[in-house]
A and B are shown apart, each in its own frame.
Chain A
Amino acid sequence: MPAEQRGLGLVFQSYALWPHRTVQDNVAYGLKLRGVAADEIKTRVAKALEQIGLGHLAARYPHQLSGGQQQRVALARALVYEPPVILLDEPLSNLDAKLREEARAWLRQLITSLGLSALCVTHDQVEAMALADRIILLNGGVVEQEGTPTELYTAPRSLFAAEFMGSNSQLNGTLASRQGGQAEIEVEGQRLRGVDRGSAAPGAAATGVIRLEAVRVDGASGGNGLTMTLATQMYLGERWEVVFTRGATTVRAYAHAPLAEGEHHVEFPPDALWIF
């Protein structure tokens, strides 16, 4: 089916606002093509521009707008003829980092308040979780997992899903045992318990994945950890990122304060360690 007969709304990554038309005319074009009467076009465009908070800029040309404003106009252009679904192609990738966070919040608010059906394509997992009610994770064109953001983040079904969302550390070892949803992996001569997510038989190679924020480095031992050497630590502002090594294994974690040089006990809570 030719693109013009699909009746969808599409917001382009580069916005694709027509440079030879004003904001008003950009937004009005879809209505004009649908044969809407001139005065109705006017009111509907005004309403759409009001919704995106740019009612006062209708007479401007795209190049006179900031990147964030252009993105809003592109959205208004896709909204104005009330398509059943709006497609957003990496809607925030052209904005600089600070603006992106604002636009993200604004976009989420607009989608929920107007009750829009929006399909948003992104490779930024934070953006996906912030914007979406449901996430479909694609890997090479195949659906890897779908569900709510919480499901994807807290219960990844595959190694790809686990690695894709959030920041993780990997523990490579061999599977020691699996039973009743629990598994044990042997890493650097130590057995670690975790949630069974894989299908390998004991003795086969396995990978443990744990979110950085789940690794505990406060010295308390829950009996499921490794003694590791502090390799380096980086100040990130609100916290420190610390890197430990033991043999071939490297583990990253967050700490609230800088740690002392030397060896530390690094704890992997069994319910947060997924073994694939």
Chain B
Amino acid sequence: MRFGWYRFLVIAVAAVAVLAPLVLVFYQSFLDAPFFQPVTHFSLEAYSFILSESDFWDAFVTTLLIGAGMTAIAVPLGAILAFLIVRTDLPGRSWLEPVILVPIFVSAIVLAFGYVVALGPVGIFSIMVKSWIGVVPWNIYSLASIAIVAGLMHVPHVYLYTAAALRGLGTDLEEAARVIGANPWRVAIHVSLPMVMPAILFAAVLVFFLGFELFGIPLVLGDPQGILVLSTYLYKLTNLLGVPSYQLMAVVVVAIVVVTLPLIYLQRRLLRQSQRYVSMRGKGQRAAPLRLGNWRWPAFAFIALWFFVTVVLPIAGITLRSFVVTWGEGVKLTEVLTLDHYRALLNFPNIERGILNTLAIGTIGGAFAVVGYTLVALAIHRWNSGWVRFVDYIVMLPRAMPGIVAGLALLWVFLFFKPISPLRATLVSLWLAYTIVWFAYGMRLISGTLLQVAPELEEAARTVGASEARVMRDVSVPLIRYGMIASWLLIFLIFVREYSTGIYLLGPGTEVIGSLLVSLWGTGDVDLVSALSVINVAMIGIGLAIAVRLGVRLHA
């Protein structure tokens, strides 16, 4: 019976943590002034203001366009990549997978900075190209650029789901088509593609949905040209009227959630559908990979080119930029090399704190987050109850809030509930925001490992006399400890990378690299931004290297 109490306690805490910010946002959206003001009235003023703003509608349409554009780019590329890696004799396919997943773990805002310093009008590579052909044949500050960059960055998401579906598909289905006389390419088009179509469709909806979460790329590449998406519109709104216009921001948040919630629901349905296909697998033996013949190296070059443009180019650009005094036409590299930017970082106590805080929230905060996710996962583990569905929805809800929105909502929660207000200026607020934003991801990691524990191992403990709580302590948790450590590493990477969730919570004591980068970019200090970006990338690189070395699967 005591375990029953534990279950409901955990569910209640999780529900409050998830619902409080959302409810507060909805409440705020119907007020005529910020909720902390002494006199507020219920009103629809904020809605009529926002909905009559042409900037809002522009941002809305831009968001849809970028979402559609990045989907159109990421889906075919990701599906082709998955097919090449899973089904063909592509060179290096055994070590390519972790490489392909790298963009998931690199901060989007760092990549965006990288594109500006590498491919911007006076970017390092732009100047190089200009010296060859006389002009810079691209414009990084445009809607198309944002869609292309975002599309390239989200290729791994499509890859993951398509590859998983392809692997789940028994090769015997393809063999059967080969035997009755279809050539490999016909098999790919007529058998493999239709079978993985539900997974690809799911990935497409996912990528389109992630378009609403974009913040760093549109902020860095769109803002200079006045291109706003919903998240950057929200960010700009902060200072629009001089006074904090919470009610207007709340309306924008509601608008975002109203679009993203149905998309999440659609994803759930599509995922279930794609799993129905996977269950049609035959016997899972591996057949000989499809021979690419002369296409092997061109295919490899295709993947290498994608990786170069998506990861190497921006990171090389920002790294180079962090070691030079200035950059422009006619500058000789050897004359401008410097370490000053890194030294300068130490002159700012808030930056120094930010670096330490980032490490702390990644390691200690990550560990606590994993513990929290495990507590929730255990509470619903092998529980035959309607409450499990309820928890499923609770877990799913935060996904509807892009990081910047969740950070804002959490800030309000800390302002609204007076007893916890003192925590606002501590890392606890940031940790809570991070943990809620990545709730669904963390739960997927932990329940994935929990599901691998054979049920009879737990039943055996029950029959020899262990209570449910005892079984969790003595059997389930010890059995998933390696899974928990692996999850901790992944959560570390995610927390170190995170930049948008901390923006509204940024203050003395809660600085992290991600949110500092956003605010430093606002001041235009490219020197500091590039040095700090490189430190962020280095942290993630080390974490990734450890994860790959330990054989951690890089996806949930």
Tell me the A residues contacting B by CB distance below 8 Å: 2-10, 12-14, 16-20, 29-30, 33-34, 77-78, 81
Contacts and interface: CB of A to CB of B under 8 A. Distances in A.
Interface in B424-469: 454, 456-457, 459-468
A6 B463 contact: yes
18 contacts: A3-B462, A4-B466, A5-B465, A6-B463, A12-B456, A13-B456, A14-B456, A16-B454, A16-B459, A17-B460, A18-B457, A18-B460, A18-B475, A20-B478, A20-B479, A30-B464, A78-B464, A81-B464
Nearest to B458: A16
Given A4-B462, A18-B479, A33-B465, 15 more contacts: A2-B462, A3-B459, A3-B462, A3-B463, A4-B463, A4-B466, A5-B465, A7-B465, A8-B463, A9-B464, A18-B461, A19-B457, A29-B461, A77-B460, A81-B464
B483 to A, nearest CB: 12
Closest 4 CB pairs of A and B: A30-B464, A16-B460, A3-B462, A16-B456
A77 B464 CA distance: 8
A10 to B, nearest CB: 4
A87 to B, nearest CB: 8
B340 interface: no
Chain B contact residues, majority secondary structure: helix
Majority SS of interface residues in chain A?
loop
Given A18-B475, A20-B479, A30 B456 contact: no
Contacts of B269: none
A33 B456 contact: no
Contacts of A2: 462, 467-468
B470 interface: yes
Contact of A14 (B454, B464, B466, B470): B454
Contacts of B464: 4, 9, 29-30, 33, 77-78, 81
Contacts of B466: 4, 29, 33
B474 interface: yes
Contact of B463 (A10, A14, A17, A19): A10
B465 A34 contact: yes
Contacts of B462: 2-4
A19 B481 CA distance: 13
Contacts of A33: 464-466, 470
Given A16-B454, A18-B457, A9 B478 contact: no
Contacts of A18: 457, 460-461, 475, 479
A34 B465 CA distance: 8
Nearest to B457: A16
B394 to A, nearest CB: 27
Contact of A4 (B457, B467, B478): B467
Contacts of A17: 460
A30 B478 contact: no
Given A4-B462, A10-B463, A34-B465, A29 B474 contact: yes
Interface of B: 454, 456-457, 459-468, 470, 474-475, 478-479
A77 B460 CA distance: 10
A56 to B, nearest CB: 23
- Considering residues A5, A12, A81, which has the most beta carbons from chain B within 10 angstroms of its beta carbon? A12
B465 A12 contact: no
Contact of B465 (A4, A16, A19): A4
A171 B470 CA distance: 58
A233 B478 CA distance: 57
A6 B467 CA distance: 11
B454 to A, nearest CB: 7
B469 to A, nearest CB: 10
A120 to B, nearest CB: 15
A243 to B, nearest CB: 33
A9 B461 contact: no
A52 B67 CA distance: 65
Contacts of A30: 464-465
A8 B465 CA distance: 8
Contacts of B456: 12-14, 16
A29 B457 CA distance: 13
B315 to A, nearest CB: 41
A52 to B, nearest CB: 16
Nearest to B474: A29
A242 to B, nearest CB: 37
Task: Please indicate which of the listed interface residues A16, A30, A33 has the most CB atoms of chain B within 10 Å of its own CB.
Answer: A16
Contacts of B467: 2, 4
B383 to A, nearest CB: 14
Contacts of B454: 14, 16
A175 to B, nearest CB: 48
B479 to A, nearest CB: 6
A188 to B, nearest CB: 44
Which of A3, A18, A20 is packed against the most chain B CB atoms within 10 Å? Answer: A3
Contact of B460 (A5, A6, A12): A12
B132 to A, nearest CB: 62
B467 to A, nearest CB: 5
A34 B466 CA distance: 9
Nearest to B464: A30
A185 to B, nearest CB: 46
B479 A19 contact: yes
Most buried by A among B459, B460, B464, B466: B464
A113 B250 CA distance: 76
Contacts of A12: 456, 459-460
Nearest to B463: A10
A34 B470 CA distance: 12
B210 to A, nearest CB: 38
A6 B465 CA distance: 8
A78 B463 CA distance: 9
A242 B460 CA distance: 47
